[in-house]
Amino acid sequence: MAALTISLGQHSDKGRKPSNQDFYGAYLPSEPLRATKGIAIALADGISSSEVSREASEAAVGGFLTDYYATPATWAVKTSAQRVLQATNAWLYAQTRQSQYRYNLDRGYVCTLSAMVIKSTTAHLFHVGDSRIYQLSGNMLEPLTEDHRFWASREVSHLSRAMGAGQHLELDYRAVSLNAGDVFLLATDGIYEWLTDAEMAALIYAHWGDLDAAAEALIAAALDNGSDDNLTAQIVRIDSLPERHSNELYAALGALPQPPELREGSELDGYRIVRQLHASSRSHVFLAEEVESGEQVALKTLSTELSQDPASIERFVREEWIARRIDNQHVLNAPAQERPRNSLYTVLAYIEGQTLTQWMCDHPQAELASVRPIVEQIAKGLRAFHRLEMLHQDLRPDNVMIDSHGTVKLIDFGAAKVAGIAEEVTESDDILGTAQYTAPEYFLGEGGSPRSDQYSLAVITYQMLTGTLPYGTEVAKTRTRAAQHKLAYQSALSENRELPAWVDEVLKKALHPSPHKRFPALSEFIFELRSPSSELLKRAQLPLIERDPVLFWKGVSLVLMLVVIFLLVR
Average of pLDDT values for 138-165?
84
pLDDT classification of 155: cutoffs 50, 70, 90: low
Contact present, 6 and 27 (Cβ < 8 Å): no
User: What is the model's pLDDT at position 544?
Assistant: 55
Which amino acid is it at 426?
T
CATH classification for the domain delimited by 248-349, as one of 3.30.200.20, 3.40.50.300, 3.40.50.261, 6.10.140.120: 3.30.200.20
CA dist., res. 414 & res. 459, Å (int) = 20
CA dist., res. 236 & res. 144, Å (int) = 14
CATH 1.10.510.10 fits 353-557, yes or no: yes
Contact present, 510 and 523 (Cβ < 8 Å): no
pTM above 0.95, yes or no: no
Q: Please state, for a pLDDT cut of 90, what percent of the chain lies above it.
A: 67
**Which residue ranges make up each domain of the chain?**
5-240, 248-349, 353-557
Nearest to 463 by CA among 371, 563, 377: 371
User: What is the model's pLDDT at position 1?
Assistant: 52
What is the per-residue DSSP string for 141-195?
Answer: EEE-S---EEESSSS-EEESS-BTSSSS---EEEEEE--TT-EEEEE-HHHHTTS
Average of pLDDT values for 252-275?
87
Nearest to 230 by CA among 15, 11, 55: 15
Q: Where are the beta strands (DSSP E) in 320-422?
A: 346-349, 353-355, 390-391, 400-403, 408-410, 417-418
Residue range 396-416, pLDDT digits in tens: 999 999 999 999 999 999 899
Residue range 305-322, pLDDT digits in tens: 888 888 888 888 889 989
CATH classification for the domain delimited by 5-240, as one of 1.20.58.760, 3.40.640.10, 3.60.40.10, 1.10.630.10: 3.60.40.10
CB-neighbour burial class of residue 361 (10 A; exposed 0-12, middle 13-18, buried 19+): exposed
DSSP code, position 1: -
pLDDT classification of 546: cutoffs 50, 70, 90: low
What is the per-residue DSSP string for 28-77?
Answer: ---TTHHHHH-EEEEEEEE-TT-SSHHHHHHHHHHHHHHHGGGS-TTS-H
Residue range 163-219, pLDDT digits in tens: 998 889 999 999 999 999 999 999 999 999 999 999 999 999 999 999 999 999 999
Q: Are strands 132-137 and 183-187 parallel, antiparallel or unpaired?
A: antiparallel
Residue range 430-444, pLDDT digits in tens: 677 789 999 999 999
Hey, do 5-240 and 248-349 end up sharing a CATH topology, with the first three levels equal?
no
Per-residue burial over 306-334, b if 16 or more Cβ lie within 10 Å, else e, is eeeeeebbbbbbbbbbbbbbbebebbbbb
User: Which range, of 72-81, 233-242, 306-315, 365-374, averages the lowest pLDDT?
Assistant: 306-315
Residue 144 has pLDDT above 80, yes or no: yes
Residue 518 has pLDDT above 70, yes or no: yes
Per-residue burial over 530-559, b if 16 or more Cβ lie within 10 Å, else e, is eebeeebeebbeeeeeebbeebeeeeeeee
Residue 246 has pLDDT above 50, yes or no: no
